[in-house]
């Protein structure tokens, strides 16, 4: 239902805009413009006040919480495995066009709910994507926003650290970890991270 | 009460505007959209991801954006067409028609980046304002460079500027709603900086986290900039002050918590286009 309402509000915007576009007589045009303005402000204002997102009439919710000293940060982390079994943290643009933090969210919400066959298919697909990105990086070609525009490419809003180092040989596998830490502890000791293996896939 | 509101409405949306405003806004939103799209050249590939990635979305969310199972080749064709339409709009080639088509295609493609996660932060992808602006400009009269100032050139400009100002105001409303006024406290900024030092590795995170006065100044500055943003459509002089303050705000965020604002170039929407247009006209006559 919310999706239909969102689609309805966008179609209403288009309809009222078309009315403005077709209006010629000044008084009628002014009325049509006023209705369009009022509608856009009402729909956008509703998103802003209720914080119910209705993109592109959006609530712009970001960084709204209040972390505390004991607030634990948890993150899904992806590692490639080389032939020797060594782990390499994967670059956040390895899954392009999906950014690492979006894939993290998807994995946390969905991977565990998939039946074994679906889970296997997803992990093998991700391993293939990671391998494609590894090959690009190993050949000295950029990933993600730098592909066409170089350093002028627009980054994703969350600037996760980049990991451009990759081995020359293909990935032998992919590991997915759940990593949690207390910021105040990790700042003092970067290795204070509790990692739990969530998933692993290896090439046959 | 009604008369002051009507006066404000008339001042914001119908005081005569130089046509340069709409020409400038059209250029800025097209360039912004092209910048983001050229930075995400493989967006259409999302349709070729395994069905498991889309299964939790249900049928209606993709349908809302016209994602109806087209082949990868078809999506790539549309994506290429979107670039061509944006260039045409930028160059003023039938701008209302090309802008309308570009706006609709941008509405289709902008959610791709975050679709599998249900669009948690699509608003921050840098395409939200271009989608709305291209459509609004397609509804309005196309500006003629040498035309006299007109209300026809004001309402679309003011509406787009106001929508952009909401990207500052609404985050404050969200903070107040979910965390209350204490969000804007030195302690909160301290923990944001500390937390993000371990996630993004922002270069000034730990330096700021160790300085309560700086944290307090950031909290106050955040509130003032975000909450006052809509004033830019009422007072052009405020917009002139807002733009450098917002630039400093975004660079501060980048350095302290590592969040980039992909809509940063859209601050150009707030240029005092009337003054610039008047100056150009005088220079042309001289």
Of B112, B177, B258, the CB nearest to A159: B258
Distance between CA atoms of residues A20 and A40, nearest Å: 13
| Residue A69 confidence (pLDDT) | 86
Statement to judge: residues A103 and A168 lie in one domain:
yes
CA quadruple A95, A99, B107, B273: dihedral positive or negative? negative
Distance between CA atoms of residues B159 and B155, nearest Å: 6
Of A60, A67, A161, the CB nearest to B123: A60
Nearest to A126 by CA among A55, A179, A85, A77: A77
Statement to judge: residues A36 and A116 lie in one domain:
no
| Residue B1 confidence (pLDDT) | 67
Of B49, B123, B175, the CB nearest to A58: B123
- B126 neighbourhood in chain A, CB within 8 Å: 154
Of B121, B135, B261, the CB nearest to A17: B135
Statement to judge: residues A141 and A190 lie in one domain:
yes
Residue A168 lies in a domain: yes
Helices (H) and strands (E) in chain B, counts: 13, 0
Statement to judge: residues A104 and A183 lie in one domain:
yes
In our burial notation (b when 16+ CB lie closer than 10 A, e otherwise), range B259-280 reads bbbbbbbbbbbbbbbbeebeee
Q: Is A52 on the interface with B (CB under 8 A)?
A: no
CA distance A84 to chain B (A): 28
- A53 neighbourhood in chain B, CB within 8 Å: 119, 123
pLDDT in tens, chain B (286 residues): 678 999 999 999 999 999 999 999 999 999 999 999 999 999 999 999 999 999 988 899 999 999 999 999 999 999 999 999 999 999 999 999 999 999 999 999 999 999 999 888 999 999 999 999 999 999 999 999 889 999 999 999 999 999 999 999 999 999 999 999 999 999 999 999 999 999 999 999 999 999 999 999 999 999 999 999 999 999 999 999 999 999 999 999 999 999 999 999 999 999 999 999 988 888 887 7
Statement to judge: residues A125 and A78 lie in one domain:
yes
How many A/B residue pairs have CB atoms within 8 Å? 216
CA distance A188 to chain B (A): 11
Statement to judge: residues A92 and A184 lie in one domain:
yes
Statement to judge: residues A86 and A167 lie in one domain:
yes
Statement to judge: residues A41 and A117 lie in one domain:
no
| Residue B157 confidence (pLDDT) | 98
Statement to judge: residues A88 and A177 lie in one domain:
yes
Residue A59 lies in a domain: no
Residue A62 lies in a domain: no
The string of pLDDT tens digits covering residues A55-103 is 999 999 889 999 988 889 999 999 999 999 999 999 999 999 999 999 9
CA distance B275 to chain A (A): 25
The string of pLDDT tens digits covering residues A148-202 is 999 999 999 999 999 999 999 999 999 999 999 999 999 999 999 999 999 999 9
Interface of A with B in 61-80 (CB under 8 A): 61-69, 71, 73, 75
Segments forming the whole domain that contains residue A33: 2-50
B259 contacts A65? CB cut-off 8 A: no
Statement to judge: residues A82 and A154 lie in one domain:
yes
Q: How many domains does chain A have?
A: 2
Of B174, B206, B257, the CB nearest to A59: B174
| Residue A51 confidence (pLDDT) | 87
A61 contacts B43? CB cut-off 8 A: no
CA quadruple B84, B30, A149, B205: dihedral positive or negative? negative
Statement to judge: residues A108 and A19 lie in one domain:
no
Distances A137 to B111, B178, B242 between C-alpha atoms, Å: 27, 41, 41
Q: Is A49 on the interface with B (CB under 8 A)?
A: yes
The total of other beta-carbon atoms located within 10 Å of residue B202's CB is 21
Interface test with A, best of B44, B46, B194 (most A CBs within 10 A): B194
- B64 neighbourhood in chain A, CB within 8 Å: 3, 6-7, 10
Statement to judge: residues A150 and A89 lie in one domain:
yes
Distance between CA atoms of residues B131 and B106, nearest Å: 6
A106 contacts B117? CB cut-off 8 A: yes
The string of pLDDT tens digits covering residues A11-44 is 999 999 999 999 999 999 999 999 999 999 999 9
Of B120, B206, B258, the CB nearest to A105: B120
| Residue A47 confidence (pLDDT) | 94
- Could you report the predicted ipTM of this complex, rounded to two decimals? 0.95
Residue A67 lies in a domain: no
A55 contacts B123? CB cut-off 8 A: yes
- B53 neighbourhood in chain A, CB within 8 Å: 106, 110, 122
């Amino acid at each position: 239902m919310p999706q239909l309402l969102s689609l309805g509000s966008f179609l209403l915007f288009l309809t009222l805009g078309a009315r403005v576009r077709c209006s010629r007589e000044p008084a009628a045009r002014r009325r049509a413009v006023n209705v369009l303005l009022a509608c856009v402000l009402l729909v956008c204002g509703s998103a802003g006040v209720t914080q119910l997102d209705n993109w592109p009439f959006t609530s712009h919710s970001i960084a709204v919480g209040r972390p505390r000293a004991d607030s634990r940060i948890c993150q899904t982390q992806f590692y490639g495995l080389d032939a020797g079994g060594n782990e390499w943290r994967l670059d956040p643009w390895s899954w392009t066009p999906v950014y690492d933090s979006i894939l993290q969210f998807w994995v946390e919400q969905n991977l565990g709910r998939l039946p074994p066959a679906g889970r296997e298919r997803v992990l093998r697909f991700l391993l293939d994507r990671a391998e494609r990105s590894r090959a690009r990086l190993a050949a000295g070609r950029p990933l993600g926003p730098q592909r066409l525009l170089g350093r002028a490419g627009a980054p994703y809003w969350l600037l996760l650290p980049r990991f451009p180092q990759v081995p020359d040989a293909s990935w032998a596998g992919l590991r997915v970890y759940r990593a949690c830490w207390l910021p105040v502890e990790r700042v003092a000791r970067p290795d204070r991270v509790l990692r739990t293996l969530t998933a692993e896939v290896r090439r046959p | 009460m009604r008369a002051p509101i009507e006066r404000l409405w008339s001042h914001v949306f119908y005081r005569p505007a130089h046509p340069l405003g709409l020409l400038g806004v059209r250029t800025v939103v097209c360039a912004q959209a092209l910048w983001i799209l050229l930075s995400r050249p493989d967006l259409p590939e999302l349709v070729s991801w395994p069905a498991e990635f889309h299964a939790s979305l249900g049928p209606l969310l993709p349908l809302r954006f016209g994602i109806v199972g087209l082949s990868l080749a078809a999506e790539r064709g549309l994506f290429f067409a979107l670039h061509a339409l944006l260039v045409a709009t930028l160059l003023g080639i039938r701008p209302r028609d090309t802008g309308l088509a570009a706006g609709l295609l941008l509405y289709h493609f902008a959610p791709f980046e975050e679709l599998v996660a249900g669009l948690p932060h699509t608003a921050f992808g840098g395409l939200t304002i271009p989608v709305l602006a291209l459509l609004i400009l397609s509804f309005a009269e196309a500006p003629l460079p040498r035309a006299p100032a007109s209300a026809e050139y004001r309402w679309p400009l003011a509406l787009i500027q106001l929508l952009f100002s909401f990207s500052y105001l609404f985050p404050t409303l969200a903070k107040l709603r979910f965390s209350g006024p204490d969000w804007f406290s030195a302690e909160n900024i301290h923990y944001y900086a500390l937390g993000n030092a371990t996630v993004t590795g922002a270069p000034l995170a730990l330096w700021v986290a160790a300085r309560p006065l700086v944290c307090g100044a950031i909290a106050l500055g955040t509130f003032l900039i975000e909450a006052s943003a809509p004033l830019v459509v009422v007072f052009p002089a405020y917009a002139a002050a807002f733009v450098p303050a917002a630039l400093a705000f975004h660079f501060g965020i980048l350095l302290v918590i590592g969040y980039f604002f992909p809509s940063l170039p859209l601050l150009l929407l707030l240029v005092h286009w009337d003054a610039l247009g008047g100056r150009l006209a005088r220079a042309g006559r001289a």
